[in-house]
Chains A and B, each alone.
Chain A
Amino acid sequence: MNVVVLGATRGIGRALARRFAERGDRVFLLGRDLADLDRSARDIEIRANRATQVGFAHCDLGDPDSFTSAMDAAAAALSTVEAVVVTAGDFATQPALEQSLERTRYLLTVNFTNTVLFCEQARTRLLAHGGTLCVFSSVAGDRGRKPVILYGAAKAGLAHYLEGLDHKYSARGLRVVCVKPGFVKTSMTTGLKPPPFAGEADGVAADVIRAIDRGQPVVYTPRIWQAVMMVIRTLPRFVMRRIEF
């Protein structure tokens, strides 16, 4: 499989790119920092121990103008793009966002508007031959919750968009995979207290690859979060008003 990963230098994106390459998939990395991408590409090549080079190009979710050239570079390197994975995104705590409208605008723009714009580019290209669009939403999007109101709202919107894409285009060969990670111990969550069932990037990556292979439309990872969120979704409002979860 030929895979493009946006957000491949860090966290779950890094773990995913390594796993794809190790099993023989060809990967193309997208990210903000070329020097960092170069280091990640070398890392993946050495781990995968294959002769094929790992290519990369600049792509910044904060700057939609970078999307076209990035996808062009990926298509040129891979000839056919069979999967596009988006792990990149922004995060800030609810208190931090409430203190700055500017910060809030940036997070909402990157995590919703720009991610959707990027997916729209990917969609048109993937529809040409059929393929998979795998995008990271979050369990935070499953219900409005006190600690993740703004972040969760953007992720909920994204999940909605992905569901719609699946409904409309699955018959035409576009497989959409919406990933809903629970708490994962990455640099995004550093400094936050890990709850029970916190996952590691590599375990999440394994779950995501399995979901992509199966064409699973929605995947919770670590899997226990599916049960956790099922309970959270059924809690009545008066309970949600009282708890801090």
Chain B
Amino acid sequence: MGNSSLSGWGRRPVPGQELRSEDLDRLTRDAVLTRGLGRSYGDSSLPPGSHPIVVATPLADRILSFDERTGVLRAEAGYSLESLYHDFLPRGWFTPVTPGTQFVTLGGMVAADIHGKNHHVDGTIGRHVRSIRVRVASGEIIECSRTEEFDLFRATIGGMGLTGHILEIELQLTRVPSPWIWGEMLRVANIDEYLDALKASAAEWPFTMGWIDCLSRGPSMGRGVLQRGRWATNGEAPEKLPRPLMRVPVPIVCPSWVMGYTVGKTFNEGYYRWNRTTPARVVHPQKFFYPLDTLLHWNRLYGKRGFTQYQCVLPDAAGRPAVRQLLELLTQQGAASFLCVIKDCGEQGEGLLSFPLKGTSIALDLPVRDGTQAIVDKLNEFVIAAGGRIYLAKDAFTRAEHFRAMEPRLPEWLAIRRQWDPTGRLRSAQSVRLFGDPA
């Protein structure tokens, strides 16, 4: 009975079943893992083999308090960003940090310590979290913050739900002058120009990021489209509220050639040509932050075998050549990718396993093929040598020894986790793979 399999956004299922209820308190007592909307790409939200039940939070979605003067919001872990957008943007408040999809929960955002287009200015979501209510492995419920149980707090931010079940979150929202974005596009001819433009934009714009064509070679390698923006002022913004965008589903799981090299090459060429440099103008916030959300179930495009996203950050110390070398390595490995996103990151946050560090983040979607493990291994070896690291919320293929090598903070995080969970009761398929937890 029940769903016999569960998967992350990458559509690579394992045996498992979700348990949903409004009453997280009751549900999490015996559970080993909690997930939100299942938008992490890899196996972060998937259960270990021996314990196939995962608690899902989306029904636990109540707002518990909101202070209109200070913007402090407290909500249950399953409160979604889609709801937050709907409830608060019209009143002039928004999450200080948003990922590239609205279909995530607050709990998931904190567990992955998500970042957004404004990382170079505002850091990750963790910076704006004031307090977290966590059910730890013993069953006890702990409120942790910067002043109480700080170790648990910083191990939980970006801790992928492995330090405890996140029940409630207190978040500082940010005031926005209007619900619209003032933004512009910049078409850039190659990777060096792209990185220059990214750096120059960061000084003036709170939101920057862009797409690059990692299938083009030679002098146009890494050509792309850079997007930058800020919240529109009252004067710039239209009077009316942005209307919700139409959403269209991908109705079927596509054959694998759909996201193959030929289509990718054609798409990238077209996308590059289509997007010309535009002067700054009013942009719909959903188009700006969540362009892919208008295509529901877009993960079906990658076919039966699913896909993975490889996202790494290369530190500034490794310099610009490292970014170029990574792109070259990608081409060599035949890691053709439709979607390659580059963004500069600011300083590392408090979360002990938080992904971003000062440098350049590169994310690309890879359809899963026979050689995917080998490609990820090669990329990881390169990232380790450059002093970078990968993003757990995207990962499904990294080897334990590679993760250890790229994460100097891991021993400290493991030590704190052991304090709260000496037997490693709370775990996921990912923690079995990366931290040697019992399967």
**A-side contacts of B23, CB under 8 Å:** 187
Which of A41-49, A97-105, A227-235 lies at the interface with chain B?
Answer: A41-49
- The answer to whether A47 and B19 have CB atoms under 8 Å apart is no
Given A39-B64, A187-B59, A192-B1, A47 and B20 contact (CB-CB distance below 8 Å): no
Q: Name the distance in Å between A181's Cβ and chain B's nearest Cβ.
A: 16
A108 to chain B, nearest CB (A): 23
Docked-complex contact A9 and B22, CB < 8 angstroms: yes
Check if B87 is an interface residue, CB within 8 A of chain A: yes
- Is B275 positioned at the interface, with any CB of A under 8 Å from its CB? no
CA–CA, A198 and B20, complex, Å: 15
A175 in contact (CB, < 8 A): no
Whether A47 and B63, one on each chain, are in contact in the complex, defined by CB atoms closer than 8 angstroms, is yes
A40 to B23, CA, bound (A): 12
Chain B positions within 8 Å of A68 at CB level: none
Known A43-B64, A192-B1: A10·B87 in contact at CB below 8 Å: no
Cβ of B3 and Cβ of A46 under 8 Å apart?
no
Nearest CB on A from B53, distance (A): 9
Give the CA-CA distance A10 to B20 in the complex, in Å.
12
Is B419 in the interface zone, CB < 8 Å from A? no
> B3 contacts which chain A residues (CB < 8 A)?
193-194
Q: Which of B21, B22, B64, B65 has the most chain A CB within a 10 Å cutoff?
A: B22
Q: Is the pair A186, B59 in contact by a Cβ cutoff of 8 Å?
A: yes
B interface footprint on A1-23 (CB within 8 Å = 1, 0 otherwise) = 00000000111001000000000
**B43 proximal to A (CB < 8 A):** no
Give CA–CA (A152, B219) in the complex, Å.
69
CA distance A186 to B22 in the complex (A): 9
A11–B22 touching, CB < 8 Å: yes
Q: How far is the CA of A49 from the CA of B19 in the complex (A)?
A: 31
Say whether A185 faces chain B, with CB atoms less than 8 Å apart. yes
A190 cross-chain contacts in B, Cβ below 8 A: 18-21
Q: Is B2 an interface residue, CB under 8 A from the partner? A: yes
Interchain nearest-CB distance for B437 vs A (Å): 25
The proximity string for A residues 168-205 relative to B, scoring 1 for CB distances below 8 Å and 0 otherwise, is 00000000000000000111001111100000000000
Docked CA distance A43–B87 (Å): 11
Interface residues on B, range: 10 to 19
Nearest CB of A to B261, in Å: 34
Query: Within 8 Å CB of B304, what residues of A?
Result: none
Does B17 interact with chain A (Cβ within 8 Å)?
yes
Residue contact B1 to A193, C-beta cutoff 8 Å: yes
Partner of B1, one of A9, A10, A43, A191: A191
List residues 1-47 of chain B with CB under 8 A from any CB of chain A.
Answer: 1-3, 17-23
Shortest beta-carbon distance from A204 to chain B in Å = 14
- Residues of A near B17 (CB, < 8 A) are 191
Q: Could you say which residues of chain A place their CB within 8 Å of the CB of B59? A: 10-11, 186-187
Pairwise interchain contact B18-A43, C-beta atoms closer than 8 A: no
The CA-CA distance from A10 to B59 in the complex, in Å, is: 8
| B66 interfacial by beta-carbon distance below 8 Å | yes
- Nearest neighbor of A185 in chain B, beta-carbon distance: B20
From A40, A49, A194, contact of B62 by CB (8 A):
A40
Tell whether A42 pairs with B19 under 8 Å between CB atoms, given A49-B91, A193-B1. Answer: no
Q: Specify the chain A residue showing the minimal Cβ separation from B17.
A: A191
- With a 10 A CB-CB cut-off, give which of B1, B21, B23, B62 has the most chain A CB atoms: B62
Whole-angstrom distance between the alpha carbons of A49 and B21 in the complex? 26
Assembly CA distance A49 to B73 (angstroms): 14
The answer to whether B22 touches A14, judged by C-beta atoms less than 8 angstroms apart, is yes
Cβ contacts A to B, 9 pairs, < 8 Å:
A11-B59, A14-B22, A42-B62, A43-B62, A185-B20, A191-B17, A192-B1, A192-B2, A193-B2
Binding site for B on A (CB under 8 A): 9-11, 14, 39-40, 42-43, 46-47, 49, 185-187, 190-194
Interface residues of B (CB under 8 A from A): 1-3, 17-23, 59, 62-66, 87, 91
A46-B63, A47-B87, A191-B19 known; 8 new pairs, CB 8 Å cut-off, are A14-B22, A43-B64, A46-B65, A47-B63, A49-B91, A190-B20, A191-B2, A194-B3
